[in-house]
Amino acid sequence: MNLEILGISVLWLFLFGYVIIGSIDFGAGFFNAYSLLTGRQHILTHIIQRYLSPVWEITNVFLVFFFVGIVGFFPKTAFYYGTTLLIPVSIGIILLAIRGSYYAFESYGSRGHKGYSFMYGASGLMIPAALSVVLTISEGGFVSLQNGKPVLDYWSLFTNTFTWSIVVLAISAVLFISAVFLTWYADKANDVGATSLLRKYAMIWAGPLAISVIGIMVELRKHNPEHFHRMINVWYLFAISAIMFIITVLFIWKRRNYGIALALLIGQFAFAFYAYGVSHYPYLLYPYLTLYDSFTNEAMATALVVVFILGFCLLIPSLYLVLKLFLFDKDYVKGKEKGHV
């Protein structure tokens, strides 16, 4: 395996990490707001707070890690994506900023501000929409070079059905991932009410997710046939993902094995995510930028890999500690300890 592939695999892993834990976070905010609207917040708020509070800052780091890493390994992406993404990413940053800081303001400063909860919930759905535009652009067709400078055609981006099917996928995936995770977490806490409500949400969002995936395949065939055919070449990866999805839904429906359902959920997204990534190879921005012509020099690549390995030796045990303390600690999950500073 060469360094380019290693680099992008690692970054893809971090993006995947962000997709999962970011989704849990975004979805939790939405469900919290929705339950407030329907007067059921007493069922959900505690479960959501207990999970989110200790990890809220860590979630953000996964994103930072991805965008710092991609500029490090593939400096040319800064030129292409930096120039074209000014508006969507700036909007993403602003939403993330308001969401992140007001989460802290509310949970540590003044509790129970309603208007804020709605904003928090709504922004949680707008962020994946704003950020998923990057995926759409990477498929090509929206960026053109004018005088050697990349320019994004906003009109064709916003009027394209492919863009919107990605947005629908992003939002339904967020809500599905979040609901499945929180069902498991609520079940661990022996919170029957929260479990059954979240289970219902998971069942509701499984449908749109499946439909939007099929929609994207149809759109992609039209939009970028080359990528579509590469995806067909790895159909078995998508098939595994689909089977895992069906079993997840089955378990949730039968109200059992929530732990396995969660593992299968992560598995199905991992397979789909990596299959998508592999079939995108070798392009970072179709058709201008490939993995190879944007890769950094060898000295920097080696240095980054070394730092990466050392960093991981530090992070894995620390992350394990967090999981042990807040995800697998029965007393904490059940809310028996009130440990906040």
Give whichever of 1 and 341 is closer to other proteins, judged by the CB atom: 341
Chosen residue from 54, 141, 208, 277 binding other proteins by CB under 8 A: 54
What is the maximum alpha-carbon separation in the chain?
63
Chosen residue from 37, 86, 145, 204 binding other proteins by CB under 8 A: 86
Residue 68 touches other proteins, criterion: CB under 8 A: yes
- Cβ neighbors of 13 (< 8 A, separation 6 or more) are none
Residues numbered 141 to 180 that lie near other proteins (CB under 8 A) are: 149
Cβ distance 54 to 322 under 8 Å? yes
Taking the C-alpha atoms of residue 256 and residue 269, their distance in angstroms, rounded to an integer, is: 21
CB of residue 4 to other proteins, shortest distance in Å: 15
Chosen residue from 33, 43, 63, 189 binding other proteins by CB under 8 A: 63
Chosen residue from 3, 36, 49, 67 binding other proteins by CB under 8 A: 67
DSSP class of residue 296 equals P
Chosen residue from 225, 282, 287, 339 binding other proteins by CB under 8 A: 339
Taking the C-alpha atoms of residue 22 and residue 95, their distance in angstroms, rounded to an integer, is: 13
CB of residue 14 to other proteins, shortest distance in Å: 10
Taking the C-alpha atoms of residue 177 and residue 20, their distance in angstroms, rounded to an integer, is: 7
Q: Which residues of 50-59 are buried (b: 16+ CB within 10 A; e: fewer)?
A: bbbeebeeeb
Identify which range of 30-38, 181-189, 269-277, 309-317 contacts other proteins by CB under 8 A.
Answer: 309-317
Give whichever of 117 and 296 is closer to other proteins, judged by the CB atom: 296
Residue 335 touches other proteins, criterion: CB under 8 A: no
Cβ distance 14 to 62 under 8 Å? yes
Residues numbered 263 to 282 that lie near other proteins (CB under 8 A) are: none
Residue 134 touches other proteins, criterion: CB under 8 A: no
Taking the C-alpha atoms of residue 238 and residue 226, their distance in angstroms, rounded to an integer, is: 17
Kindly write out the interface string for residues 287-306 of this chain, putting x where it contacts other proteins by CB under 8 A and - elsewhere. ---------xx-xx--xx--
Cβ distance 252 to 261 under 8 Å? yes
- Cβ neighbors of 235 (< 8 A, separation 6 or more) are none
Give whichever of 140 and 150 is closer to other proteins, judged by the CB atom: 150
Residue 71 touches other proteins, criterion: CB under 8 A: yes
Identify which range of 85-93, 121-129, 170-178, 281-289 contacts other proteins by CB under 8 A.
Answer: 85-93
Residue 138 touches other proteins, criterion: CB under 8 A: no
Cβ distance 247 to 206 under 8 Å? no
CB of residue 135 to other proteins, shortest distance in Å: 17
Chosen residue from 84, 117, 183, 268 binding other proteins by CB under 8 A: 84
Residue 19 touches other proteins, criterion: CB under 8 A: no
CB of residue 17 to other proteins, shortest distance in Å: 11
Q: Is 283 helix (H, G, I), strand (E, B) or coil?
A: strand
Chosen residue from 76, 223, 227, 280 binding other proteins by CB under 8 A: 76
Residues numbered 94 to 123 that lie near other proteins (CB under 8 A) are: 94, 96-98, 100-105, 108-110
Residue 93 touches other proteins, criterion: CB under 8 A: yes
Q: Is 290 helix (H, G, I), strand (E, B) or coil?
A: strand
Backbone angles phi, psi at 284, to 5 degrees: -100, -35
The span from the first CA to the last CA of the chain, in angstroms, equals: 47
| Whole-Å CA distances, 205 to 10, 20, 194 | 30, 16, 17
